[in-house]
């Protein structure tokens, strides 16, 4: 593969790597007892929000509990996120939301209250209330099964609302696989009601193509199949993950001769993330 | 000419939709009767599909971007399906995120004429239990204007327990405080109309009743309610909602706690409502209020 837009894909990698390094610090803080609230890690799923953030610039962002990667990819205030995880008043939700309830109005990211998929009707309502605003709505494959998700998507089609729906489909609801829960794909249903939809892997090259195609034809829906590395909540893991998109993408970029730029990015990310965590932990 | 309550609601709504860029959202708003003639024919009416559950989420989203939606629940029973986004989201955003989700929830009720088990509920007591939401039950044009003005003052969601039996009401309902009253009757929702009739019946039997009308259920201000109780030294709170663990019991408890005087509660019975008249349940009938009052006086 030859990279047409090297700069953009390097930026995606930078964000993926940054998120991974950030969440490695979260895991360390949890394991040391410095973070005392439940955490919902995006590790393994970073490619989706990192790619979206490079190609789609929404005015309002509605996520759900596993929202660190979206927050970081879209440039949310990192210090406030660390403080939120530490339960401080200076956190992005004054310590009242914790990991599942993060927000940053500076990037248009609205807080989530903890019930999966409820961000979907709320996002649709915001788009109805102010159609001049482009909306991003991210949820998971478990949330996709909530009855109010599809009905809200249908409402968005009826009213032609500018919402980009994205499902981070990690195939797991807690630990129950999708095949044990349902026999259908949400993209089949959304296609049937006339919404541009695709069911794709979380490969940044593929996501980028679809985002470019769909972003001016909203509402639209992307179901991105991904791999969550850690437990639903907390830092635990059940063996080696099926795949690591970060590693796969890194190899692709290196094959394209970006080795030095990758190393440099990783080095800078590492220094910055470590410094920030150190500063905020010391303030405790 | 005096305005009815229904006309007042319609005028307030029209002004909100036309002058405030507000929204009114709900199911079948522009169908037969336009919700008992309370919905104006103008811009900014959003017909929701039959998507109970998702519907209130869409309304919450519109509230977040400043449209201050009026959300119409044609029968209060339907609020059960719609309540998650109100209870779990709208009522919590101020505390969690620092900004409110101002939704004006018009929850209508009715009784009789075969309304039956799922079209006759009055559910304001559920919402009194939820932090972060105001609850009221206006029965007159003036009260409706008061609660609307209150809604527009801040970004708190408000549950407005309406009753179709009040829609033709034109007059305000004033408190009555009599010298040497035997009991103070407190009324909520449509029970206020039966309370007035019951007091007339009791007067014929030389029983003097103070009458106190309750508009705000949450926040509850007891100041005005305590004075007549201190005179009569006995009270009865009457509600159209269920008595058990409901508004009537809760307010009776608060009044007793504040004054030390006995206050009892009377509301709908703890059973579902049937379709036919003999199985109806809801606002205590005049005879029942009279009977309960007489029994209380025997214990005084």
Q: Three-state SS string across B8-66, please?
A: HHHHHHHHHHHHCCCCEEECCCCCCCHHHHCCCCCCCEEECCCCCCHHHHHHHHHHHCC
B84 contacts chain A (CB < 8 A): yes
What per-residue confidence (pLDDT) applies to A197?
A: 98
What per-residue confidence (pLDDT) applies to B5?
A: 98
Q: What is the mean pLDDT of residues B160-183?
A: 97
- Nearest CA-CA distance, residue A161 and chain B, Å: 12
Helix, strand or coil, per DSSP, at residue B134 = strand
- Nearest CA-CA distance, residue A115 and chain B, Å: 8
CB-count burial class (<10 Å; 0-12, 13-18, 19+) for A4: exposed
Residues of A in contact with B20 (CB under 8 A): none
Q: What are phi and psi of A145, to 5 degrees?
A: -90, -10
Domains B5-166 and B183-299 share a fold: yes
- Is A269:A276 a contact under the CB 8 Å cutoff? no
Q: Which of residues 65-84 of A touch B (CB under 8 A)?
A: none
Cβ pair B57:A97 closer than 8 A:
no
- Nearest CA-CA distance, residue A36 and chain B, Å: 18
- Nearest CA-CA distance, residue B126 and chain A, Å: 20
Produce one character per residue of B151-162: b if its CB has 16 or more CB atoms within 10 Å, e if not.
beeebbbbbbbb
- Nearest CA-CA distance, residue A91 and chain B, Å: 11
What top-level class would CATH report for the domain B5-166? alpha beta
Helix, strand or coil, per DSSP, at residue B47 = strand
For B199-229, the pLDDT digits (tens) are 999 999 999 999 999 999 999 999 999 999 9
Q: Is B245 left (phi over 0), alpha (psi -120 to 50) or beta?
A: left
Nearest CA in chain B to A161: B58
What is the signed CA dihedral for B216, B222, B225, B226, rounded to 10 degrees?
A: 170
- What ipTM was predicted for this assembly? 0.95
Residues lower than pLDDT 70 in chain A:
1-3, 284
- Nearest CB neighbour to B62, from listed A94, A128, A151: A128
CB-count burial class (<10 Å; 0-12, 13-18, 19+) for A184: exposed
A65 DSSP assignment: S
What per-residue confidence (pLDDT) applies to B193?
A: 98
- Distance from the Cα of residue B172 to its chain's centroid: 15
Produce one character per residue of A106-134: b if its CB has 16 or more CB atoms within 10 Å, e if not.
ebbbbbbbbbbbbbbbbbbbbbbbbeebb
Residues of B in contact with A114 (CB under 8 A): 88
Nearest CA in chain B to A118: B57
What per-residue confidence (pLDDT) applies to A69?
A: 97
Two structure tokens written together for B182: 């035997």
- Is A154:A219 a contact under the CB 8 Å cutoff? no
Q: Which residue has the tokens 């029942």?
A: B288
Residues of A in contact with B93 (CB under 8 A): 111, 113
Q: What are phi and psi of B169, to 5 degrees?
A: -65, 130
Q: Which fold has domain B183-299?
A: Rossmann fold (3.40.50)
Helix, strand or coil, per DSSP, at residue B239 = strand
- Nearest CA-CA distance, residue B115 and chain A, Å: 27
- Is B113:B145 a contact under the CB 8 Å cutoff? no
- Distance from the Cα of residue B248 to its chain's centroid: 12
- Nearest CB neighbour to A97, from listed B66, B88, B96: B96
What per-residue confidence (pLDDT) applies to B161?
A: 98
B157 DSSP assignment: -
10 Å Cβ neighbour count for B295? 11
A182 contacts chain B (CB < 8 A): no
What per-residue confidence (pLDDT) applies to B114?
A: 87
Domains, in order of start, for chain A: 6-282 (3.40.50.970)
- Nearest CB neighbour to B51, from listed A101, A122, A155: A155
Residues of B in contact with A121 (CB under 8 A): 54-58, 60-61, 85
- Nearest CB neighbour to B96, from listed A101, A123, A125: A101
Cβ pair B97:A129 closer than 8 A:
no
For B74-97, the pLDDT digits (tens) are 999 999 999 999 999 999 999 999
Distance between CA B180 and CA B69 in Å, rounded?
A: 47
* Residue A261, C-beta contacts closer than 8 angstroms, at least 6 positions apart: A10
Cβ pair A122:B64 closer than 8 A:
yes
Helices (H) and strands (E) in chain A, counts: 11, 8
- For chain B, domain boundaries: 5-166, 183-299
Residues of B in contact with A103 (CB under 8 A): 97
What per-residue confidence (pLDDT) applies to B300?
A: 74
Confidence label for B112 from pLDDT (cuts 50, 70 and 90): confident
Cβ pair B51:A123 closer than 8 A:
no
Cβ pair A118:B85 closer than 8 A:
yes
Residues of B in contact with A106 (CB under 8 A): none
Give me the residues paired with residue B235 across strands.
B184, B263
């Amino acid at each position: 593969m030859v990279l047409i837009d090297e700069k953009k894909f390097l930026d995606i990698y930078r964000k993926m790597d940054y998120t991974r390094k950030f969440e490695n610090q979260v895991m360390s803080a949890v394991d040391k007892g410095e973070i005392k609230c439940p955490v919902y890690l995006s590790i393994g799923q970073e490619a989706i929000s990192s790619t979206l953030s490079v190609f789609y610039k929404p005015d309002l962002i509605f996520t759900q509990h596993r929202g660190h990667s979206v927050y970081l990819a879209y440039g949310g205030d990192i210090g406030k996120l660390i403080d939120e995880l530490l339960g401080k008043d200076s956190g992005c939700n004054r310590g009242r939301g914790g990991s599942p309830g993060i927000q940053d109005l500076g990037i248009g990211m609205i807080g989530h209250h903890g019930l999966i998929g409820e961000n979907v009707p709320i996002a649709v309502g915001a788009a109805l209330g102010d159609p001049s605003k482009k909306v991003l709505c991210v949820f998971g494959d478990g949330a996709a099964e909530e009855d109010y998700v599809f009905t809200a998507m249908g409402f968005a089609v009826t009213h032609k609302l500018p919402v980009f729906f994205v499902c981070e489909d990690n195939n797991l609801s807690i630990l129950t696989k999708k095949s044990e829960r349902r026999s259908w794909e949400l993209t089949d249903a959304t296609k049937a009601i006339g919404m541009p939809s695709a069911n794709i892997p979380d490969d940044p090259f593929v996501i980028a193509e679809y985002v470019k195609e769909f972003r001016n034809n909203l509402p639209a829906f992307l179901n991105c199949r991904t791999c969550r590395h850690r437990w639903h909540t907390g830092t635990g893991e059940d063996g080696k993950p099926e795949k690591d998109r970060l590693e796969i993408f890194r190899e692709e970029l290196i094959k394209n001769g970006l080795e030095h730029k990758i190393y440099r990015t990783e080095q800078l990310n590492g220094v910055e993330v470590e410094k920030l965590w150190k500063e905020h932990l010391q303030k405790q | 000419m005096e305005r009815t309550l229904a006309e007042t609601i319609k005028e307030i709504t029209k002004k909100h939709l036309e002058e405030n860029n507000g929204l009114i959202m709900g199911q079948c708003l522009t169908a037969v009767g336009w919700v008992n003639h309370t919905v104006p024919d103008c811009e900014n009416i959003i017909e929701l599909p039959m998507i109970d559950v998702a519907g209130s989420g869409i309304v919450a989203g519109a509230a977040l971007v400043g449209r201050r939606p009026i959300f119409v629940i044609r029968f209060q029973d339907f609020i059960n399906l719609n309540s998650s986004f109100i209870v779990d989201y709208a009522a919590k955003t101020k505390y969690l995120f620092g900004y409110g989700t101002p939704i004006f929830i018009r929850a209508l009720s009715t009784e009789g004429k075969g309304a039956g088990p799922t079209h006759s509920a009055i559910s304001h007591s559920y919402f009194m239990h939820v932090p972060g939401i105001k609850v009221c039950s206006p029965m007159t044009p003036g009260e409706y204007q008061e609660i609307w003005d209150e809604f527009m003052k801040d970004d708190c969601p408000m549950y407005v327990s309406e009753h179709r039996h009040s829609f033709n009401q034109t007059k305000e309902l004033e408190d009555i405080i009599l010298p040497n009253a035997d009991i103070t009757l407190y009324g909520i929702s449509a029970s206020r109309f039966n309370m007035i009739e019951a007091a007339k019946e009791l007067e014929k039997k030389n029983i003097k009743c103070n009458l106190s009308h309750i508009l705000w259920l949450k926040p509850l201000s007891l100041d005005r309610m305590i004075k007549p109780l201190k005179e009569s030294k006995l009270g009865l709170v009457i509600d159209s909602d269920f008595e058990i663990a409901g508004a009537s019991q809760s307010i009776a408890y608060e009044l007793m706690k504040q004054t030390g005087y006995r206050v009892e509660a009377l509301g709908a019975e703890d059973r579902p409502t049937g379709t036919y008249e003999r199985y109806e349940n809801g606002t205590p009938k005049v005879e029942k209020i009279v009977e309960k009052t007489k029994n209380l006086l025997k214990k005084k």
